Structure 1
Amino acid sequence: MGLLDDKVTIVTGAGRGIGAAAARLFAREGALLVLAARSGAEVEALAAELRAGGARAVAVAADLTTAEGAERTVGAALTTYGRLDGAFDNAGSGLSPAPLAERSEAEWDDTHALNLRGSWLCLRAQLRAMAAGGRGGAVVLNSGVGALVGGFGDGVQQAAKHGLTGLVKAATADYARHGIRVNAVAPGVVRTPSTERFFASGPEFDALVVRSTPLGRAGSDTEIAEAAAWLLSDRASYVAGVTLPVDGGITATRRFD
């Protein structure tokens, strides 16, 4: 028996990085998967890989900043498996560091469209399906340490991540009585394809990671996926409304500098 055995689970932003790592881990833990991302080719390839290994997985090419994309992803779960038990709303994007007053309106709009509005649209569709199904369920949002602490050069994204903390709390207040648990993971510095440019910029970034992270290293995409899998599983059955740091100790020591 895996952590997610027979649980119909959506993973958004599943084409690469943390989302792809989560899809592979959830498959090993027995989940029945719906993989969604804007890049249909990437999620189709990943779904095929998982099916070749004996898992059940379908792919959905969807713009998750739109209600249509969010609802179509949930619809794929209901059509394919007849229900929805869980979701890891991982789709998101980041910005290179810059002071808050130097950010443009376009950067604000683009960042919040995916990181906050898109997460809300996905969560809304998932909550409706789970409440209507009457079986309960679990949703995990992928947030970040910016939801819990301040940091230099990341104010626009931090505002979006703080918004996710509010969504987690509001959804818990509204839907816990339906047996639906909503939580978030808050990764620290994680090495993924989207962050590789920072590591490639020179030894100064590695030194910053070591200095600001008590465990002295960046996290891996699989380590974030492991935390999400636990929160989605029945082993976390009394955990609701939490934004869980998975950050190597950054938030424990307030050394995010």
Structure 2
Amino acid sequence: MANLTHAISKHDNSHHAVFPVPENNTPLAPNSVRVRTTLITLSSNNLTYARLGTTWGWWTAYPVPTAVAPPPYNDGDAWGTVPAWGYATVVASTIAALPADGTTTIYGYWPTTSHAVDLQLQPAAGIENHWIETSPHRQALMNMYNRYIPAPIPSTATPAAAAATARRVALKPVWECGYLFSRFNFPPAVVEDGTGSSLLPVHPLGLPAPAALPWTARDADLRRAVVVGLAATSKTGRGFAWKKAWQDLCDQKVKPDEAIVVRV
């Protein structure tokens, strides 16, 4: 497979280029895997990652390999790689639980390139089969972008299976964002009869410590609020609206007159 990098101008996203880079044959660090993007989804999310990559730190996930990139793309301040969600295959590993046997695939946040990249991983505390990326350059990212889950790539053996896999890969991250907003940023509040959630809510920005911002149960309590979604076609927004308006309602954690969602 060709080792290609796709670099995009951070200042003008209409300028981009694809170019080859040498195979990465450097020794792999301890607690690391070397992976190659295998199946990803491209959507308006990727445009958001490019347009707001500096503000939200998305450019830091997979910097352009400036040591081997040709000019002008070896300027990491001006050029970057847009990430995407999907699956990658482990091609080298120093983690016994993630062997490079040709079958180990991982779901997560990957570069839109075909050259192999390295991840530094540690098991997620208290969550089986979840791994956390701990590379220093990625620590400004929201937690969800540093989470990786070993999982087989869904079948693409038939046209129907391939279509189902495409839908799953495309919709999983945006649905998951809506779920996380509802479950952890705005969990159903504990009410007088004891129903609801005892979870400590997480600030919507989802920043890791020590950058995490304060967010109290009162901040997260939507029982007397009208929720207005400003992006009616946003899959994340629709997932959040569905979860708040229906799932919490069906769980009898929110009363009907307390679950008002408006999309505009």
Q: Same fold (TM over 0.5)?
A: no
Larger proportion of helix: 1
Larger radius of gyration: 2
**TM value normalised by structure 2:** 0.25
**TM value normalised by structure 1:** 0.25
